Amino acid sequence: MPIMSIEDFSFTYASAPARSLSNINLPIQKNCITSLIGPSGCGKSTLLRSLNRMHDLYPNNEYEGKLMLLNQENNEMENILDIKRENEFIELRQRVGMIFQKPTPFPMSIFDNVAYGLRISGIKNKTELKDRVEDALKGSALFGEVSDRMNKSAMGLSGGQQQRLCIARAVALKPELLLFDEPTSALDPISTAAIEELIVELKKDISIAIVTHNMQQASRISDYTAFMYLGDLVEYGETEQIFLNPREKKTEDYITGRFG
């Protein structure tokens, strides 16, 4: 069952003369990892950022089609493109979190980094805050490494730890869908392995969409893979099928390194 259904979706940047995404139809399956792969400029990050309306931070970008997000309370799909009010955007971004390529810890303590979103969402009770922060850090496989320095600055953590802290910050809000935009491209192999292991663990509770340039990463961790090219979705399927028997020649040429 999809947590999100992308239907006939097109997107045009305000500054661009033509569509950056054309008629995309793609499900993001619940409790699965969906990878978006494709050469630079194919629109995968644009698509990912559409899924929690990040493009609305800049004016006059144009969405068409539908981005249907499952409301897990009533089991109905709701079009997030209908969202207009500021508080609805905040709620959407709590439900659909995002992790960026470069770790973005706030210049504050480790505890406050994770508690930040929780406080914004109205949690003031200290005990509840402490529990939720600890749970998020444990869920992000970071608690053991930082439990004795929760009040120290997050800027002192290594790159891999900072990225896991950002994941903890997103996880603390108990999102339904987590979007990862090349989350390991700035990390060394050990930190990359830790993040990949974490992403695989997270999918038990959270659905995940990930943009990656690393073919091996997509094949290793994702259940479904979508290949995009020049703003079009060329092929979508189970990762095993895409990497073993792609239907489209363009997909095969890309994953075998013949172009891109």
Partner 1 sequence: MLKTYSNQLDEINEKIVVIANNILEANNVILNGLVECDKDLLDSAKESLKNMSSKTTEIDNNIIKMLALYSPEARDLRLVVSLFKITNELLRASSNTRSFIAGLSNYCTELDTVTVKDFAVPMQKSTVDCLITVVAMLKTTCSDETQELFNKLLIGESKTDDLYELLQESVFKQAPNIEDFGKFTKILSALRKSEKIADRSLDVGTLLLFARVGGEMGVRE
User: What does the binding site for partner 1 look like in residue numbers (CB under 8 A)?
Assistant: 193, 196-197, 200, 216, 219-221, 239-240, 243-244
Looking only at the bridges linking them, the beta strands covering 177-181 and 62-71 are: unpaired
Distance CA 99, CA 76 (A): 26
Nearer to partner 1, 88 or 197 (CB): 197
Q: Least distance to partner 1 from the beta carbon of 197, Å?
A: 6
Handedness of CA 250, 253, 254, 258 (dihedral sign): negative
Q: Which residues pair with 209 in a beta bridge?
A: 34, 179
Q: Are strands 207-211 and 224-229 parallel, antiparallel or unpaired?
A: unpaired
Quote the least distance from Cβ 40 to partner 1, whole Å. Answer: 21
Q: Which is nearer to partner 1, 91 or 201 (CB)?
A: 201
CA distance to 12, 24, 60, 244, per residue, from 216 (Å)? 30, 24, 37, 13
Backbone angles phi, psi at 186, to 5 degrees: -105, 10
Closest CB 239 distance from partner 1, rounded Å: 7
88/240 with CB nearer partner 1:
240
Q: Which is nearer to partner 1, 11 or 243 (CB)?
A: 243
* Least separation in angstroms between CB 246 and partner 1: 11
The nearest distance, CB 244 to partner 1, in angstroms, is 5
Token reading at 138: 């444990």
Of 77 and 193, nearer to partner 1 (C-beta) is 193
The helix/strand/coil state of 60 is coil
